[in-house]
Amino acid sequence: MAKRRYSFDEDKLARFLKEGRGQGAGGNYKPWLTIQDVPSQGRTARPTGWKTGRLHHLLSNIETALFYLLDWEDHVLDIREQFPLDREKTRQIASEMGVVHPSDVKTKVDIVMTTDFLVDIQTAQGRKTLAIPVKKSDDLDDARTIEKLEIDRRYWQGEAEWIIVTERDMNKDRVGNVRWVHEMHTLEGLEVPYPGYWQDRCRALLDSIAICGEMTIKQFLRWLESTQGFGSGEGLTVIRHLIATKILLIDMDRPFDTSAVLAQALTRKGGGEVRRRA
């Protein structure tokens, strides 16, 4: 197998522009960099976004964590990762700062810098754009990293609110919970015995949960399988789906614990806590 070439030159940059990278929005956006364009160290990911319906190309664990948090939030409208900055403008900013513009180590060609996330959100005042670089907190002690971040910050002045995010800004339990339910936002594609099967399972679980509040979640899942015809693992699949679609609410900032009492751990949206069996 031919070895993949990760270095950049002018021909490669021109090809990226021709491919429409960095253009579009929502489901039509094409990130400047994909996971195929960077050396893999086992930390890349390609989840399908709830907001966009497309695969997102995430190049580190910390990028992936922030993506899940952004995709969860209702006020987030669009997420564009690996967003390219105009090279002439970043060259000018670097010159004004008196620093060297980032370049490819091998070819020495000035690279197209990227902002990790460009995020559109809805606020009370209207639509707003956030430019978010994501860094490990330890990286902020590196002088060269700070120079590149300052180029990024100056680039977005007057155009977007610029915010640095590190792992210290993210609740690990919240990230874990969103990651756990994320792929169950839709149950399409799962094998079913008849059309509408999962809709029936969701209705059955919600009807049952309303009267089984004194059980633990683990007991409830076993009860569904022994008395309600649920297959092995189906109850937890449905719970994950209902949490993902925010029909069932949990404390996202604490680990999901199947030994917790149903009435204390789960809330039905608009319906208060689940009722205990009389």
What distance in Å separates the CA atoms of residue 180 and residue 72, rounded to the nearest whole number? 12
Considering 37, 51, 63, 148, which one is annotated as catalytic? 63
135 is a catalytic site residue:
yes
Could you say which of 71, 78, 110, 135 is catalytic? 135
| 63 a catalytic residue | yes
Q: Which residues sit opposite 225 in a β-bridge?
A: none
Instruction: Assess contact for 258 and 212: CB atoms under 8 A.
Output: no
Chain centroid to CA 86: how far? 25
Report residue 252 CA to chain centroid gap.
15
Q: Which residue has the tokens 């060269």?
A: 144
C-alpha distances in Å from residue 46, one per residue of 36, 40, 54, 257: 11, 13, 9, 27
- Among the listed residues 71, 81, 110, 116, the single catalytic one is 116
Q: Which two tokens stand for residue 117?
A: 């996330």
Measured torsion, CA atoms of residues 35, 40, 42, 44, in degrees rounded to the nearest 10: -20
Ranges of beta strands (E only) in the chain are: 76-84, 114-123, 126-132, 161-162, 248-249, 267-268, 272-273
- Rounded to the nearest angstrom, the gap between the alpha carbon of residue 249 and the centroid of all alpha carbons in its chain is 19
First vs last C-alpha separation in the chain: 66
Q: Counting runs of H as helices and runs of E as strands, what totals does the chain give?
A: 9, 7
Q: Is 18 a catalytic residue?
A: no
Helix (H, G, I), strand (E, B) or coil at 95: helix
Q: Catalytic one among 10, 73, 159, 161?
A: 73
Active-site positions read 63, 73, 116, 135
